Amino acid sequence: MNERICVGLIGAGAMGGALMRGWLANGVIDPARSAIFDPRVGDSMRALATDAGVAVNPAKKDLRVDALVIAVKPQIAADVLPAYAPLAKDALSISVMAGKSIASVARALGAAALVARAMPNLPAAIGEGVTGLFAPEGIDARGRAVIERLMAAVGETVWVESERGIDLVTAVSGSGPAYFFAMVEALADAGVHAGLDAAAAAKLARATMTGAGALVARDVRSTAEMRKAVTSPGGTTEAALGVLDGDDGALHRLVREAVAAAARRAGELTD
């Protein structure tokens, strides 16, 4: 589908705002028939919406949308969403809230609501995110195409086959940026302990990790091939990887355990 989508965005904070910017920049939505609903919409987002022709907090009875994207804080969803039941009745609702099941969102919006879930991550704020998507059986190919187009505006997308898969997406990519940041911190700390000054170690760690990430994005080789290209037999990288992973796959085991813990917790927190 190439036609522009009419969207109602509930919540224009960090993630909702990133989505709106991506939609407008990529020509995904029809601004004249789209709207933002947020009682505390920021000045910059209000100015962006006004310039583009997107309505801010219009009367709900005067609007009909193709998709209702829910980007409010999960803890206020039960109080906020019932007011949008009339809009949700004729629209596809897409929740980007963590910890809220399709059943929970549908209860808040009314039994007739058709709800899908999307789990973007922090880099979506700069258009470099990846979003896990799940749509139940009631959503047809056209609906899935709408979900795909809306979420692709802030990065890559990956479909999962069950709602449980959203917990796994949360554990891998939702929480994943924090794992990356922790590795940058650890590498900088190791540099200081080895004898570098703190500023130099921090700059080296940050630039090395972001540069390697950019290379992964652009290089067609697998990461295993790229790792081997840096690892000369008997060299410095091999010595370091022997400590990180070794013959027993210590790093891989630790990361598997970390992701499993995050996925378990995501399931526990979901209502």
Share the mean pLDDT of the chain: 96
Pick from 153, 158, 127, 171: nearest CA to 69: 153
Give 128's pLDDT tier (boundaries 50, 70, 90).
very high
Residues in the chain: 271
* Pair 17, 24: CB distance under 8 Å: no
Amino acid sitting at position 39: P
* Pair 97, 71: CB distance under 8 Å: yes
* Residue 52, burial from CB neighbour count under 10 angstroms (0-12, 13-18, 19+): middle
Q: What is the pLDDT of residues 206-254, one digit of tens each?
A: 999 999 999 999 999 999 999 999 999 999 999 999 999 988 999 999 9
Q: Which residue has the tokens 């919409």?
A: 41
Per DSSP, the chain holds a count of helices (H) and strands (E) of: 12, 8
Give 15's pLDDT tier (boundaries 50, 70, 90).
very high
- Residue 163 — φ and ψ, nearest 5°? -65, -30
The CA-atom distances, in angstroms, between 188 and each of 162, 208, 246 are 39, 10, 22
pTM of full prediction above 0.85: yes
C-alpha 64/C-alpha 56 separation (Å) is: 14
C-alpha 121/C-alpha 141 separation (Å) is: 25
The CA-atom distances, in angstroms, between 96 and each of 52, 101, 223, 236 are 23, 10, 30, 43
Residue 116: CB partners within 8 Å, gap ≥ 6?
92, 93, 94, 95, 102, 133, 134, 135, 136, 139, 143, 147
- Residue 57 — φ and ψ, nearest 5°? 55, 50
Q: What is the mean pLDDT of residues 164-182?
A: 97
C-alpha 172/C-alpha 177 separation (Å) is: 9
DSSP code of 84?
A: G
Q: What's the number of CA atoms in the CB half-sphere (13 Å) around residue 183? A: 14
* Pair 91, 119: CB distance under 8 Å: no
Q: What is the pLDDT of residues 180-201, one digit of tens each?
A: 999 999 999 999 999 999 999 9
Q: Does position 112 have pLDDT exceeding 90, yes or no? A: no
